[in-house]
Chain A
Amino acid sequence: MIRYEYSENGYQGWGAARGRFQDEFLVRLFRDMLRIRLIEEEIERRYHQDQMKTPIHLVIGQEATSVGCCAALRKTDLLYSSHRTHGNYLAKSGDLKAMLCEMHCRINGCVGSRGGSMHLIDKSVGMAGTSAIVAGAIPIAAGSALTAQLQGLDRVSVVFFGDAGTEEGVTSESLNFAALKKLPVIFFCENNFYSVQSPLATRQPPREIYKWAAGYGIASVRVDGANVLAVYEAVREAVKRAREGGGATFIEAPVYRFRAHGGAGDDSHTGYRDTAELKAWEEVCPIETYFRFLADAGLITIAQREHMHAEIMLEVIEAFDYALASPNPEEKDLYAHIYSD
């Protein structure tokens, strides 16, 4: 039984919109999504070797949200994330080697092996903070936005979270405060319909999440999370609103994760969701649908895609080799940064 269906139109009607974007930009979005996918698949392939002693929450199937969003942000805009960090970090231009070093528990990991995959942070590109506590980063992003407001900075803060994140009390508190102060913040909800193995229907009454959020008095929209251009446009509008003093925006993007909540592989066979549901969503894979859109428009060929693929894999393998050759922390490293001077 398919419980949660894809209810959007893919790229139907987007052909006309092509003129709004530069061709290079359109192709770059594809490459960015493909790169995340290939990195995730390589992580997944190697995970059983137990060199990466860290929980992982793959974003395979959810690449369009991170890429579409970050394409609408400046480097100086700040992104906050949840436990599902990989796509956010990579789309915000986080360093791949530092990410893989972190996942291999090496001292030159992006946070010195203190965080693992749920704390991929690279402040030099605005990947500003994550929380492994569901909804934990939401008020922090509001505080980040309050800072921009108080200091008069032209800077937008964005926070990613899942559908379950909307159930935590602090999310309501944060939406209320963001509305009250008209904060330059974007609440980006990736609704993938499941919290671990619990479907939305056992956790929330039948209602649309973005309508619930609208009740707090902020702009709230729903956008096709499998359509990178739709995400980009929605975020661009939200960013514009934030920069112009129009306050916060809530974005709900229905998406589907093609893998288990955590770890490698799919777990649909355990029965909490129907394999047919996964299959149906794989039909609208954000990378394949977009590839067809670009190919139909004559912007990319299969050969070009293959070249791109090979290029990315070279980068990925090199980064893995680098991580595996990197030094482990020493005992003295445990004691640094308990307090800040």
Chain B
Amino acid sequence: MPWDEGLVNSLVYEAPDPGTGRSLGYAKAINEALDIALAHDPGVFVLGQGVDDPGAMFGTTRGLQEKYGAARVFDTPLSEEGMMGVCTGAAMNGMRPVYMHNRPDFILLAFNQLVTHASKYHYMDNGQTTVPMVVWAAIGRGWGSGAQHSQSIQGLLLGVPGLKIVMPSTPYDAKGLMLAAIADNNPVLIFEHRWLMKKDGTVPEGFYTVPLGKGIYRRRGSDITIVGASHALEVALQAANKLAADGIESEIIDLRTLKPLDEQIIAESLKKTGKILVVDTGWAMGGVCAEIGCLAAEKWFDYLKSPVRRVGLPDIPTPAGYTLEQFYYPDAEKVAGVIREMVKK
């Protein structure tokens, strides 16, 4: 199944500097996180469709069943809601399930258990029960993924109290955020992006965590603040680097966690630049872009020197065909155009 392999390989990423530490592939970094968690905590188990097959969930689960046994690393029936409920029930009883999905689209079948059960019990029974579970999925794009295999559903979940939502953008973060998510006592969703998963990066050995709810500056500048996560941030970085040649200096914040949101880092940067562009892999309408844009207008209006802008997906289902897709997804060129307009004002 080639899906978007060809396109992934054609993307050029900055090669990691070997001087800064060990370089590791993205999927391998996640694999290492799962390996450490399984070794460290007998309550952790990993499940998902095909986690023990040759593809091994993009390689993230490779070798884990051999090492930890079929009781703790196992393939599941095609029963997304049922298995989400099984994870919830296990988490409520002290286990730490990590439920892996090929695509966020498949999680939509499990919204009842995720939204109406897993995220609710701790509050609903007055703190008696905790639900420490991780739900992981990789957003698809390209090669015919189309309307049903490319959805970014973080925006649909952003308004659900009790959930945490993580979107890593580097192998370092993918490992550190996974370990933090497993250690967290709440249901945590991790949305990866397929196009990041062939990326290499500097990844420390052993156990470390990247804190949930904290963003990080990926680029410093004073002309404009760009906020986002995951692959959308990658595109924004490409745009920003291009514009630097013209003397436009963008400040880029990688949120790492969308919920809880690091409002402090956004406010800090916006106070300096007075301009904010929000980028996301999902639909601009009613999602991450809309929420953060609204927050800027509501809380930091006094800092704003120009209208809030957003670059997400248009209010259209994803087309499957290659040419239509090029019109659909915003690229670095488009993001650069928006930045230019905003900085000119």
Contacts of A146 in B (CB 8 A): 86, 89-90, 95
Known A136-B116, A147-B95, A341-B185: A173·B83 in contact at CB below 8 Å: yes
Whether A133 lies near B92 (C-beta < 8 A) is no
Contacts of B125 in A (CB 8 A): 111, 114-115, 119, 121, 123, 129
Instruction: State A133–B87 Cα separation when bound (angstroms).
Output: 17
Q: Is B127 an interface residue (CB 8 A)?
A: yes
Contacts of A81 in B (CB 8 A): none
Contacts of A174 in B (CB 8 A): 79, 82, 85-86
List the B residue with the shortest CB-CB distance to A123.
B128
Contacts of A144 in B (CB 8 A): 89-90, 92-93
Instruction: State A112–B117 Cα separation when bound (angstroms).
Output: 18
Contacts of A142 in B (CB 8 A): 82, 85-86, 89
Distance in angstroms from B114 CB to nearest chain A CB is 12
Instruction: State A114–B125 Cα separation when bound (angstroms).
Output: 7
Describe A's contact surface by its main secondary structure: helix
Within 8 A of A (CB), among B169-191: 185-186
Chain B: interface residue total (CB-CB under 8 A)? 43
A236-265 CB mask vs B (1 if < 8 Å, else 0) is 000000000000000000000000000000
Chain A: interface residue total (CB-CB under 8 A)? 42
Q: Is A269 an interface residue (CB 8 A)?
A: no
Within 8 A of B (CB), among A305-341: 336-341
Instruction: State A130–B123 Cα separation when bound (angstroms).
Output: 13
Within 8 A of B (CB), among A128-166: 128-129, 131, 133, 136, 138-148, 150-151, 157
Distance in angstroms from B65 CB to nearest chain A CB is 15
List 9 A-B pairs, Cβ < 8 Å.
A115-B126, A131-B116, A143-B87, A147-B89, A147-B95, A151-B95, A337-B127, A339-B162, A339-B164
A positions within 8 Å CB-CB of B: 78, 80, 111-112, 114-115, 119, 121, 123, 128-129, 131, 133, 136, 138-148, 150-151, 157, 169-170, 172-174, 176-177, 180, 336-341
Shortest beta-carbon contacts, A-B, top 5: A143-B89, A139-B85, A173-B82, A112-B126, A173-B79
